[in-house]
Structure 1
Amino acid sequence: MQVSKFAETTQHLGLLVLRISGSVFLLQVHGLPKLLNYAAELQRIEDPFHLGANLTLMLAIFAEVLCPLAIIAGVLARLACLPILTVLIIALAVVHPEWTLEQGQFGWLLLIIFTTVLIGGPGRFSLNSRLPEALRYA
């Protein structure tokens, strides 16, 4: 089946909008507040696996700041989705299992967005398209 150039371009634009909007929301709502208020967040962060607040916060910052930046750029976007999805699943299933769907809706929406990016990849409008073939699908 032949896909028209217009349909292909709109699919790639859709992936661009999806990965940028999801990443910006994650950065603004969760990542940057943790990074900019590190000391305060260190006192508040949940530590469900008893790794220590410092390590747990650093892992959260990695997943919520560095990974979204990679996804925005479209560099190793699929790989960058994995830490985000891990943090989201831990937050929804381990840290806040009592949340209703309504209370956890932002987490669920982010889970849907980053799972879609994981499946669909970053699209043509990304730096991934300039990587060697072996890294292009990561």
Structure 2
Amino acid sequence: MNPLFGTKASPSAVHAMLLLLRLGVSATMLTHGWPKFMKVTTGNFEFGDPIGIGSAPSLILSMLAEFGCSLLLILGFQTRLATLILMINMLVITVFAHGSDPFGKKEMPLLYLLIYTTLFFIGPGKYSVDGRTSKTWPG
């Protein structure tokens, strides 16, 4: 009998929790990406320019990360590429957009960065398109 607070995780629970983590973080990030997607589709390119490439390119890159890569994460497709792009986006937000702001403004993008970094190194789990197409898929 395993103790309630034991250190051994069951593989099926790990894969289920990776799915839950991917879905949860993507759903919350979509609340940031959807408004940017709507701005782009309506032709409103007013946006900050944190890294000096212009408002329109900054908006499009942020929208692609927060909206497009979140959709990829939901599917678990190209997970490591999607999380890498999202990690870069969170770094830009933390360092450039909120660089001089108090920690409270940086806290949320840092939490997202931590989650994306975890998914980058661990991977999407077997309940994903990537897991389904990998050579290690058990089915």
- Per the normalisation by structure 1, the TM-score is 0.83
Post-superposition shift, 1:53? 1.5
Q: Aligned partners of 1:19, 1:114: CA distance in 2, in Å? A: 9
Match of 1:49 in 2: 51
**1:106 aligned onto 2:108:** yes
How far does the alpha carbon of each residue in 1:6-65 deviate from its partner, in whole angstroms, 9 at most, with x for none? 70000001111111101111111x10011113358622x221332222111111111011
Alignment counterpart, residue 72 of structure 2, candidates 70, 75, 79: 70
The answer to whether the Cα contact below 8 Å between 2:76 and 2:128 also exists between their aligned partners in 1 is yes
Query: For the structure 1 residues 101 and 47, does the alpha-carbon distance in structure 2 shift closer, same or farther, using more than 3 Å as the test?
Result: same
How far does the alpha carbon of each residue in 1:72-122 deviate from its partner, in whole angstroms, 9 at most, with x for none? 100110111111111110111112112222222211111111111111100
Report which stretch shifted further, 17-26 or 52-61.
Answer: 52-61
The answer to whether the Cα contact below 8 Å between 1:34 and 1:41 also exists between their aligned partners in 2 is no
Report which stretch shifted further, 94-103 or 83-92.
Answer: 94-103
Supply the AA of the counterpart residue of 1:61. Answer: M
Q: Aligned partners of 2:131, 2:11: CA distance in 1, in Å? A: 15
Q: Which runs of 5+ in 2 are unaligned?
A: 1-8
**Higher RCO (Cα < 8 Å, 6 or more apart):** 1
Alignment counterpart, residue 24 of structure 2, candidates 21, 25, 31: 21
Alignment counterpart, residue 15 of structure 2, candidates 12, 16, 30: 12
Match of 1:3 in 2: none
Q: Quick check: which one's helix share is greater?
A: 1
Match of 2:121 in 1: 119
| Structure with larger Rg | 2
Percentage identity across paired residues of the two chains = 29
* Partner SS, residue 37 of structure 1: helix
The answer to whether the Cα contact below 8 Å between 1:92 and 1:99 also exists between their aligned partners in 2 is no
